[in-house]
Structure 1
Amino acid sequence: MALHKLTASLFAVMALIAAAVIGLTGTASAATADNGHQSFAAQAKQAGLTSTEAKQLQSKVDGYLATQGGKQVAANKIELAGKGEIVVSLPGERYARDLTSAAGTRAACPYENFCMWTGTGFTGTQYNLWQCQTYALSNWNGPGSWSNNQTPGTRARFLDRYRNTIYTTPGAYANNGNYNWAPVWYVVPC
């Protein structure tokens, strides 16, 4: 069971106990406990996803939460504790898009970020990293892409399983639309 599901289950149980103590109905408390997932489902529906696609998206988000940690803050976005974010591509779409923006437009690589995509040509799920630290990659195997949009001259390093540098990017701004992530186990964006 994913950590956030376990946490949500524990929260729901605590809400039901609190409801019994203060005399509220269990149904109202359970709805309050699950409000975050309800708003994510509503956001997915507003983005044009069917209920099946919304479940596929949530399953994908749950997978990233299990391997990368963080907190789900939107139907397709995970915040990595103040050090970056993951924007998950929607089912059937090539590009990740920001559902928290008014227009729900394609997610850009923000200035002062090192961004990585699971697909070539800046497609697929997008990681925006802004903190200078070592990030472990999980299940990144094969072709993808990256964009170094940090302050001018800043270089990112890609490390192998033994944390040896195997590639250093050119100084910002630079990008590569077709990069093989297979040998990369860690990324240090600065």
Structure 2
Amino acid sequence: MMNVRKRLALIAAAMTLGAGLSAAGPAQADQPSASVPSTQSFVQQAKAAHLTGTQASALQSAVNRYLKELGGKQIGPNEIDFGGDGKLFVAIPGEDHPRDFASGAATSAVDDCDFPMYNGNFCAYSKAGYRGDLRQWSACKTYDMPFGRGGSWINNQTKGQVARMYNRNGSLIFTTYSYDSDASGDWYHVWTVKLC
């Protein structure tokens, strides 16, 4: 439990910060940082890649849901980076695969999970048949599974690396060695995946 002195110090710091923000004025406080692209710029980038306004908005809504649930930083119209903990690529609602916006035109699918062989990635897909949103991991650690039903996966870590899948009680339910895949690997019972 926090003691009274710490609480008072936190309150004083918050008041000082608040005073500094109001002194800056509304014109400065409302402007986004120049180094962090705004959600609006991602929507504009999606529209420039010939998405309709409805598609761009639906895509941004899907990205926002993941950001709220998982954290991370949006770095493209459909891409979330988790700073060393992999990436998530979001498919436009109604499409089977996330698009590659880095190419500019966004006409091809982004998915380097299956090629080249032993490329270091474990890829989880939200739908069966390697379709839907794509969560890509490569570091040796334990990851929370963001998908709940359906799904598929490709274990394309370096040769012989292991991916272990655990249920909500932390019990091991499946082990796979690279290279392996499952086009209908349901995520319902998988709560975490441990790589290496």
- TM-score normalized by the length of structure 1: 0.79
Name which one, 1 or 2, has greater alpha-carbon Rg: 2
Equivalent residue for 1:134, pick from 142, 152, 167: 142
CA distance in 2, matches of 1:157, 1:178: 17
In structure 2, relative to structure 1, the CA distance for the partners of 1:48 and 1:167 (3 Å cut) is same
CA distance in 1, matches of 2:126, 2:78: 15
Partner of 2:73: 71
Partner of 1:178: 184
- C-alpha contact 2:49 2:105 (8 A) present in aligned 1: no
Q: Give the aligned residue type for 2:78.
A: N
Partner of 2:88: 86
How many pairs align?
Answer: 169
Q: Give the aligned residue type for 1:163.
A: G
Partner of 1:7: none
User: What per-residue deviation string (whole Å, max 9, x for no partner) do you get for residues 109-142 of structure 1?
Assistant: 342110010011110000010111111124x222
Measure how far apart 1:85 and its partner are.
0.2
User: What per-residue deviation string (whole Å, max 9, x for no partner) do you get for residues 11-51 of structure 1?
Assistant: xxx5x863x4xxxx83x874545852232011110232222
For structure 2, list consecutive stretches of 5 or more residues without a partner in the other structure. 1-20, 114-118
Measure how far apart 1:177 and its partner are.
0.9
Equivalent residue for 2:112, pick from 88, 109, 114: 109
- C-alpha contact 1:109 1:147 (8 A) present in aligned 2: no
| Structure 1 SS opposite 2:100 | coil
Identity of aligned residues (%): 37
- TM-score normalized by the length of structure 2: 0.77
For structure 1, list consecutive stretches of 5 or more residues without a partner in the other structure. 1-13
